[in-house]
Amino acid sequence: MRTPNRLVAALTAATMLASNLAAVPALAQQRTEVGAASVVIGDVEFREQQEARARQLERRDRIAWGNYIASASNSQAQILLLDRSTFSIGERTRLRIDEVVYDPAEGRSAVVSVLRGALRFFSGSNEGNNTADVNAPAARIGIRGTAIDILAGEVAQQVGEDEPFIENMRNVDSDEDEATLVVLRGPGAQTAGGLTVGLAEVTSAGVTVVLDEPGLAAYVPRAGVPPIGPFRISDPGLVQIQNEIQPRVARAGGGGGGGILGALIPIAVGAVALGVLLSDDDDDNDNSTATTDDGNDNCYYEEGQRVCPGSDIR
Amino acid sequence: MRIFHIAACLPVIMMLSTPAAAQSLAELDRLSDLTANADTGVAAAQEQAERGAYLEALSTLERVMAAYPESVSARLLHAVYLCRIDDRQGGLVEISQMDEDLFGEANITDARDRCSRPYVEPQAPAPAPAPAASPDPEPIETLSLPPSTAAEGEVSGKEPPTPTAPAASASGTNAISGSNAISDSTPSRSSSSSSTQQPEDTDGGEKD
């Protein structure tokens, strides 16, 4: 008596499985677009999940689930998600967009994987329940309402092991492919604008370290070991991170008198007044003539001549 | 020059006045279009900051800085906005990377000063009084600013104040404060009472 029922159940299950399998190719072709490339500088490759061949990422390119993005040296990009959150991708970075779900009424959830390099995340809309998870080689980072920097791989090892806190420890054995460094940048408790105070949870080997103040960091030297921290990132460490995420700013100079800024002295100095830029502090708006410092393009003035170098802005 | 600046802001005001709920890929394109130009990008960031959307403003400025790394305006604002979200260390580090010859001593002093003290949100302007009731009204600037910001413009010749940021030092063992909530697979979100972690006490499980 029970055998026929079992047979019917097995047939039903097989039919459902077959119909599901038949639906897979259609689903695989469906592209869930969750954002767009908002700036692309230099060589940044982009690959769809189902494609073997990569192509140059261009500004306004749509970003979808499963997309891979890889930047070369002295290159960078920013991905703007529908809720206006952003992922800034530094040089020599590889990133995969695993899943992003956004509902203006409910909030946003995002899962991305950083395989190597430097990543900065800025949370967008302050409304709804917004969460994001970043899978790094040696840790999983859960973030909320946050500005956060994440380094993965060799660059994380370089910056992490130079940190005085890590240097003072014994027997830190880092893996150059797996090392992960996480730095919370804000917002802190004293934030303006009523922003959600940032928080990041760095989990590895079943241990979670919570970062809840700007400047706090956690370092995971390799997969399978607990995070080290929290500790306060050093100023030189922050400079290195900034240089990885904004390589063109680092190369433009400003700290050593060289680079593009060096050629801009005649129009840069005195052309900008911070008090004017900060118009919400309009205590000194009326006594300045400052307006623009850099014009509308990538040109600059050198010895009185307007120079427009070949741009690699995509 | 002032007219040019207003003209640069007009498309920004028009584009950013879209309701926040009307998020779409096309709107993202419009946002990125704004930062394809340094002036409109900086203006967009200023508008976002005035709305309190500082993280958006920072993202906007980073797009400008990527395309126009020579933009003094973008870099100054980026540093100050970092301080506004309470990342004073990050803001001061960026300011420390600015060459006085390029950014101007007054700007750097001003930026450092703004980063070294808590930001006070400007109050909404008071309603304009009726002319008959107040023939000589106080300027709105004075009304909308707290006393501590009234002299911010007078920065020339001022000694840079000692930063009060959590960690502006570049060397030595880093002080640890804040959270140290370490648990087995149970993340803790209450961490203000966390203990201080010393390097000698913790090796993070590293054994060789």
pLDDT at B43: 94
3-class state of residue B55 by DSSP: helix
Q: What percent of chain B has pLDDT over 90?
A: 38
- If we measure between CA atoms, which residue out of B86, B186, B163 comes closest to residue A198? B86
pTM flag (> 0.90): no
Q: Determine the pLDDT at residue A87.
A: 94
Contact A206/B at CB under 8 A? yes
Q: Which positions in chain B touch A185 (Cβ < 8 Å)? A: 82, 85, 87, 90
Across the interface, which of B52, B73, B178 has its CB nearest the CB of A212? B178
CB atoms within 10 A of CB B201: 9
Interchain pair A213, B179: CB under 8 A: yes
Tell me what pLDDT residue A129 has: 75
- Per residue in B99-145, pLDDT (tens digit) is 888 889 999 999 999 998 877 777 666 666 655 544 444 433 333 32
Task: Specify whether the CB–CB gap between A155 and A118 falls below 8 A.
Answer: yes
Chain A hits for B170, CB-CB cut-off 8 Å, are 234-236
A168: nearest CA in chain B?
Answer: B199
pLDDT digits (tens, 9 = 90+) for A65-95: 889 999 999 999 999 998 889 999 999 999 9
Taking the mean position of all CA atoms in its chain, how far away is CA B106?
18
Q: Say how many residues make up chain B.
A: 208
Say which of B86, B170, B204 has its CB closest to residue A191: B86
Question: How confident is the model at residue A224, as a pLDDT?
Answer: 95
pLDDT single digits (tens) A13-65 = 444 444 444 444 444 557 888 899 999 999 999 998 778 889 999 999 999 88
pLDDT at A282 over 60: no
Q: Which comes out higher in pLDDT, residue B76 or A269? A: B76
Minimal CA separation from A277 to chain B, in Å: 7
Chain A interface test: which of B23, B85, B117, B145 (most A C-beta within 10 Å) = B85
Contacts of A164 in chain B (CB under 8 A): 171-174
Q: Are A294 and A277 in contact (CB under 8 A)?
A: no
3-state class (DSSP) for residue B110: helix
Position B185 scores a pLDDT of 36
Least CB-CB distance to B65: which of A84, A249, A284?
Answer: A249
Distance CA A168, CA A210 (A): 21
| pLDDT above 90: percentage of residues in chain A | 50
Residue B201 at interface with chain A, using a CB cutoff of 8 Å: no
Element (H, E) at B10: helix B2-16
Q: How much is the pLDDT for A225?
A: 95
What count of Cα atoms within 13 Å lies in the side-chain half-sphere of residue B142? 3
Mean pLDDT of residues grouped by 10 in chain B (208 residues)? 48 47 78 92 94 94 94 93 95 92 90 86 65 44 32 33 38 39 36 39 37
Across the interface, which of B20, B77, B174 has its CB nearest the CB of A234? B174
Helix, coil or strand: residue A277? helix
- Using a CB–CB cutoff of 8 Å, tell me whether B185 touches chain A: yes
Instruction: Mark yes or no for CB contact A214/B166 under 8 Å.
Output: yes
Do residues A124 and A79 make contact, with C-beta atoms less than 8 angstroms apart? no
Please state, rounded to an integer, the average pLDDT across all residues of chain B.
65
Instruction: Report the pLDDT value the prediction gives residue A76, as an integer from 0 to 100.
Output: 95
Q: Where are the alpha helices (DSSP H) in B35-185?
A: 38-50, 54-67, 72-84, 88-96, 100-103, 105-115, 140-144
Give the end-to-end CA distance of chain B in Å, rounded to a whole number: 65
What span, in angstroms and rounded, lies between the C-alpha atoms of A61 and B14?
24
ipTM of the complex, rounded to two decimals: 0.77
Work out how many CB contacts closer than 8 A connect A with B. Answer: 389
Question: CB of B36 within 8 Å of any CB in chain A?
Answer: yes
* End-to-end CA separation in angstroms for chain A: 70
What confidence tens digit (pLDDT) does each residue in A231-262 have?
999 999 999 999 999 998 887 765 444 444 44
Find the helix or strand (DSSP H, E) in which A167 lies. helix A164-167
pLDDT bucket at A116, cuts 50 / 70 / 90: very high
Which member of A36, A260, A284 has the closest CB to residue B29?
A: A36
Structure confidence at residue B3 (pLDDT): 46
